[in-house]
Structure 1
Amino acid sequence: MNNDEHKYLFGFLLIKELTPAKLRLLLKTYSSAKTAWQNFDYDKLLAIGFDEQIIQSLIISQKTIDLEREWKTMFDEEIKMISYQDAEYPENLKEITSHPLALFYRGNISLLKEKQLAVVGTRKPTSYGAQVIEKFFPVLASAGLTITSGMAIGIDSLAHNAALQNNQKTIAVLGEGLCQKNLAQHSQRILAEKILQNNGLIVTEYPPFFKANRFTFPARNRIISGLSLGVLVVEASEKSGSLITAHRALEQNREVFTVPGNIFSNQSIGTNSLIKEGALPVTNPTDILLALNFKTVSIKNQEKINYEDEMEAKIHMLLDLQPIHIDQLSKKSGFDPIAVSAKISLMELKGLVRKVEGGMLIRG
């Protein structure tokens, strides 16, 4: 699509009363966005299903929008745009119902063509969820997957940060425009800067100054899943927005992976329900890679641990990603609590044990 077509498509996207379905119909009726913008035909639009109110809104908006100024402002904001007709537009996103007609972005647009895994979950992750991210991502990074998420507080931001820490590329899909003001007010503005500084990508379907609302987040979830080979849901409560992403993924014929969780944890109700619905439970990153048909994966074998004594070996064997109190650990191991406490201190120095909130312990 040439620059003129981009500009006029951009103009239509600025008209809030024009729904995506109506815009598709408009573009189908006319030969181009430019032709449609310059040649509104009242009777023609009425004939193809536009009601009078929408037609009047189009006419008024077309007269009141200073398209040249708005177009220049987008470039002044250093925001770029691609349309569904451009080579940079990912083919897998075109496959989904109601794919965006345009994408606005900052950063490395070539990432849209990379193999992606969407990672989503609760805004209130437990230490278990954080540990899953930490343990999975080195292996996912070695496989070359780009991580896509929504840059929200919680699992989203943990996923983006873990990707960056493992030299993995990452894409953030937002439910608002990418103007400097919106990004500056975003709760994860520092993360946004890190993503761009590390050759990542921030993308949206909304024009630069568009403000997020309660409808835009569910809408952007279809893009997160649509860009990806599959969606990994790490932790999710019963009404978590990440379940919307999972269901969109199923509708789009994408793989849905869920990490089984504690049946007594509110943050696992959603993920455990997804398993009942047919999502693939995963307990290690290789489960994901095998399901996505990654034939060769560079996975570092864990070095054999040389334990100092029987106590150290038994304590380490009893630890996993589920936090445990030192008293429970002492009881399970059969060793004296004081001796276990001293041993834990030494094991922390070796990286075999980690303390999490409340003084609980997990495997390092």
Structure 2
Amino acid sequence: MYDKYKIWLAIAPIKNSIKLELLKELKDEKNIYNFMKENSNRKNRLVETLLRTYSEERLYNLQELCEREGISFLNIKDTKYPKSLLNINEMPYGLFYKGNIDKLNNNDKKIAIVGSRRASYYGKNIVEIICRELKDTNVQIISGLARGIDGEAHKGSIENGIYTCGVLGCGIDVIYPKEHKNLYKKIIENQGCILSEFSPDAPPERFRFPLRNRIISGLSNLIIIVEASEKSGSLITANWALEQGKDIMAVPASIFLEQNKGTNKLIKDGAYPFTSVEDIINLLEIEKTYNANKNVRKSYSEICDRIYEILTSEPMHVDEIARSSNIDITQLYGVLFEMQLREEICCLNGNYYVKVNKSI
């Protein structure tokens, strides 16, 4: 059963700190509403804003939407409320969510992985390796369900049986970007969680994403930034993390690319550099059974080995591969196709190829 006064206060466009102060003084949400009604004749911006937000029809429609779409709601007084958010600046008064939110309160290590929406193959490969090598450990992956690195973090978590939570910069009934519709569903189907502090029907407006980022960092023990320009929203997450006293790790990359300037600067300013998954394991003191042979690449032929050694994480055109390997182009296409089937390499647009690294 939804409490309309709690929903009303949750969607009210005022600071969370003001909501919490009102709740502290007036004890519950209905009392807050009654107090506002009693003072409706006063020219006070807060009173006017709260009363303008209160609409029986809108609250009824939101309640119907939540019931129809399986959306749950909790506030700071609820025992399920994520305890890690209770001490952050502007802690959200309430959260709308789908899926299993209970796990956010267990003792698993929680790692936020965020980064560029225009992720390169290098960045995607790094996220893939992190998720694969953290399989069967006591970790959770937190991210923002955005394009690029965020989406790869959620996908990698699902593929490796890791609990993942997506924090939205819009309403929970608004899937953004639209191409993540299936990913959104898979997170919930795999016992993960989607949550948002905004009204369930709130559109993805620009001002919401920096607010979302404080929740991502607030839920996490460690924030890993993968590919971020100097103006990237991921750096906002890093700033929140600094304010909250959280550890930050950044993935180093080419100094010539704009999308790496933010991450490289973080390292220069003192963030932990990511050089292998062992860095994460050691920093968070994660218990892990390591199999030294599990990621050793199997040799299939001398030609395959030659091509694998030539390729890197930087795209290489098929003509350059042919010149470097001294292999006939017709034979080369056949070998490249076989290696793609074994997921040793990946073909990009324009006949460019990159190596698929299985570990670091």
TM-score using structure 1 length: 0.84
Tell me if 1:167 matches 2:161.
yes
Cα distance change, pair 343–270 in 1 and its aligned pair in 2 (3 A): same
Conservation of the 8 A alpha-carbon contact between 1:142 and 1:298:
no
Tell me if 1:80 matches 2:72.
yes
Conservation of the 8 A alpha-carbon contact between 2:146 and 2:176:
no
SS at match of 1:188: helix
Tell me if 1:143 matches 2:164.
no
Q: How many Å apart are 1:330 and its aligned residue?
A: 6.8
Cα distance change, pair 225–255 in 1 and its aligned pair in 2 (3 A): same
Aligned mates of 2:295, 2:66 — CA distance in 1 = 52
Q: How many Å apart are 1:67 and its aligned residue?
A: 4.6
SS at match of 1:232: strand
SS at match of 2:175: helix
Conservation of the 8 A alpha-carbon contact between 2:62 and 2:200:
no
Match of 2:95 in 1: 103
Aligned mates of 2:28, 2:192 — CA distance in 1 = 32
Conservation of the 8 A alpha-carbon contact between 2:131 and 2:157:
yes
Tell me if 1:254 matches 2:222.
no
Q: Which amino acid is the alignment partner of residue 336 of structure 1?
A: N
Match of 1:40 in 2: 36
Cα distance change, pair 282–65 in 1 and its aligned pair in 2 (3 A): same
Which blocks of at least 5 consecutive residues in structure 1 are unaligned?
none
Q: Which amino acid is the alignment partner of residue 29 of structure 2?
A: A
Conservation of the 8 A alpha-carbon contact between 1:151 and 1:160:
yes
Aligned mates of 1:361, 1:185 — CA distance in 2 = 28
Match of 1:338 in 2: 328
Aligned mates of 2:116, 2:141 — CA distance in 1 = 17
Deviates more, 1:287-296 or 1:186-195: 186-195
Q: How many Å apart are 1:61 and its aligned residue?
A: 4.3
Q: How many Å apart are 1:311 and its aligned residue?
A: 6.1
Conservation of the 8 A alpha-carbon contact between 1:139 and 1:299:
no
Number of equivalent positions? 352
Match of 2:24 in 1: 28
Match of 1:19 in 2: 15
Cα distance change, pair 278–9 in 1 and its aligned pair in 2 (3 A): same
SS at match of 2:134: helix
SS at match of 1:99: coil
How is 1:214-229 mapped onto 2 (pairs within 5 angstroms)? 214-229=206-221
Aligned mates of 2:58, 2:295 — CA distance in 1 = 64
Match of 1:197 in 2: 189
How is 1:279-298 mapped onto 2 (pairs within 5 angstroms)? 279-298=271-290
Aligned mates of 1:237, 1:273 — CA distance in 2 = 9
SS at match of 1:322: coil
Q: Which amino acid is the alignment partner of residue 326 of structure 2?
A: D
**Root-mean-square deviation over aligned CA pairs:** 3.1
Residue deviations 1:131-151, cap 9 Å, x none? Answer: 112222111223232211111
Cα distance change, pair 33–303 in 1 and its aligned pair in 2 (3 A): closer
Q: Which amino acid is the alignment partner of residue 338 of structure 1?
A: D
Residue deviations 1:66-85, cap 9 Å, x none? Answer: 65564454333321111112
Which blocks of at least 5 consecutive residues in structure 2 are unaligned?
none
Aligned mates of 1:61, 1:352 — CA distance in 2 = 56
Aligned mates of 1:69, 1:23 — CA distance in 2 = 23
- Of 264, 274, 297, the residue aligned with 2:256 is 264
Residue deviations 1:279-330, cap 9 Å, x none? Answer: 1111222211211111334556336556467665555345443334456667
Aligned mates of 1:66, 1:356 — CA distance in 2 = 48
Cα distance change, pair 38–186 in 1 and its aligned pair in 2 (3 A): farther
Aligned mates of 1:116, 1:108 — CA distance in 2 = 15
Tell me if 1:132 matches 2:126.
yes
Conservation of the 8 A alpha-carbon contact between 2:40 and 2:48:
no
Match of 1:10 in 2: 7
Q: Which amino acid is the alignment partner of residue 28 of structure 2?
A: S
Q: Which amino acid is the alignment partner of residue 126 of structure 1?
A: S
Conservation of the 8 A alpha-carbon contact between 1:111 and 1:171:
no
Q: Which amino acid is the alignment partner of residue 16 of structure 2?
A: P
- Of 126, 147, 155, the residue aligned with 1:153 is 147
Deviates more, 1:164-173 or 1:313-322: 313-322
SS at match of 2:245: coil
Aligned mates of 1:254, 1:154 — CA distance in 2 = 23
Tell me the percent identity. Answer: 32
Residue deviations 1:27-48, cap 9 Å, x none? Answer: 12212222222333867998xx
SS at match of 2:224: strand
